[in-house]
Structures are given as C-alpha cells and as structure tokens.
Structure 1
Amino acid sequence: MTSSELLDYCMSKPGAEQSVDNQWNANQVKVGEMMFAMVSPLQERPAITLKTSPELAEELRNKHPEIVPAEHMNKAHWNTIFLDGDLPDSHFYHLIDSSYQLVVTALPEEVRQDLGV
C-alpha cells in the first residue's frame, strides 16, 4: 500500500476535499470541512492518520504494532497507521471507510444532504 493509493482512495469518497498542511508536510482530506484522513510521513515512515472511536482506537493499537496514537491529535480518537507494517491492504480501506463514516455522521443534516451522503 502506498501513500498515493491511500490518498486516491480517500479522495474517491463523496464530498472529499484535499488540502496541504505545509507545517506538517501533510495531505489532509476533509468532508464538509472536517478532516477524516491525513497522509504524511512520520518518523521518516509513510503513514496515514485516521479518526476512530476511542474503544476501537485502543483495540487496534493493542493488536497491531504498526498502529499508534496520532501525534498532535486527540489520541482517544485518532490513530496513525504506518504503511510499511504488516497490516493487510483491506484493513486500510476498512479503516478509511470507518473514519469517513464517523465524520459524515457528525456533520449537520443540511451539509450531509448537500454532499449527497
């Protein structure tokens, strides 16, 4: 799995918009002005940061050494996943889908309707 493949998958989501955060050298992906993914290197390793529920965040960290609490983010809700670990590609897609859904669910009804989600 590569950073560009994950970024492309994130951008395929309805309403997804990309911006660059120069301070963090990161590609942020948002829906309705709320971030659901950030693709950026961490500790010189390719990585993606995704939102999750607090319960799942901890469970994932305990099961997978390539999943760690996100730097500079609320660690209860955000995990960073290193792309060079042993996590199967299907898990990346599932975690992106879950992150996107969490953010979309939190959007106001009017915004969701405007986005068609």
Structure 2
Amino acid sequence: MTPRELRAACLALTGAREEFPFNEATSVFKVEGKMFALSALDDVPLRVSLKCEPDLALRLRATYPAVTAGYHLNKRHWNTVELDDSVPDQLVLDMIEDSYDLVVARLPKATRHLLGWRTGS
C-alpha cells in the first residue's frame, strides 16, 4: 500500500477529514473530530496507527510481525501497522474501516445517523 492509497482509503470513509495537529508531516484522520488513523505518510517504512478492539489487537500482533502495539498511543486499543506488504492490503483496509467504526460507534446517535452509519456497516 502506498501513501496515496492509504490517504485515499482513510478519506473515502463518510465524514473523514485529514488534519495536522501534531506537525506538518503527520496526517491525522478524524471523523467528527475524533482520530481513527495516524500516519507520517512520507516516512519509510510507511506505518499507520489504527484503533482496534483489544482482543483482536492482540491476535493481529501475534499473527503479523508488522503489527505492533500503538506507537505513543494506548497500547490496549491501538495498533501500528508497518505497510511492508507482509499484511495483505485488504486486511489493512478492513482495519482502517474497523478503526473508523469503533470511533463512530461512540458518537451521538444523531451524528451516527447523519453519517449514514449502522452497526456492522
């Protein structure tokens, strides 16, 4: 996955925005002001940090050496994925969507409705 593909995948989600609250090099992808992905898109190797259910986070870390506990984030709820082609692109896309869903699920019901979000969507 390239930086362009990563950015496009994050921004394809309804209501997603890219912001730079930390520095000009670190893209923070948010929905309704809440972060669901974080990446320094120009870094080599390319990495992305994503929110994850704690049990799944542990399973992914055990399965893929490129998936580690979230760098500078709550390690129970965040994974950092090195995009070195060892983790299938479809799985990374699923992880991005799961991270987004975890954030949206905690938004007010009216906001979820405006985003067209349904549980498990």
Q: What TM-score, normalized by structure 2, do the two folds share?
A: 0.87
Partners of 1:108 and 1:15 lie apart in 2 by 14
Paired residues in the alignment total 117
Partners of 1:31 and 1:111 lie apart in 2 by 10
Q: What SS does the aligned partner of 2:20 have?
A: strand
Give CA deviations for 1:69-102 in whole Å, capped at 9, x if unaligned.
1111000000000011411111111111111111
1:3, 1:47 within 8 Å by CA — same for their partners in 2? Answer: no
Structure with bigger RCO (C-alpha 8 Å, 6+ apart): 1
2:9 matched residue in structure 1: 9
1:35 and 2:14 matched: no
> Is the alpha carbon distance of 1:44 and 1:6 closer, same or farther for their aligned partners in structure 2, counting shifts above 3 Å?
closer
1:50 matched residue in structure 2: 50
Code of the aligned partner of 1:79: N
- Alpha-carbon RMSD across the aligned residues, in angstroms, is 1.9
Partners of 2:25 and 2:67 lie apart in 1 by 20
Partners of 1:22 and 1:81 lie apart in 2 by 19
Partners of 2:34 and 2:90 lie apart in 1 by 24
5+ residue gaps, structure 1: none
Q: Percent identity?
A: 36
Superposition deviation, residue 40 in structure 1: 1.7
5+ residue gaps, structure 2: none
1:112 and 2:112 matched: yes
1:18, 1:30 within 8 Å by CA — same for their partners in 2? Answer: yes
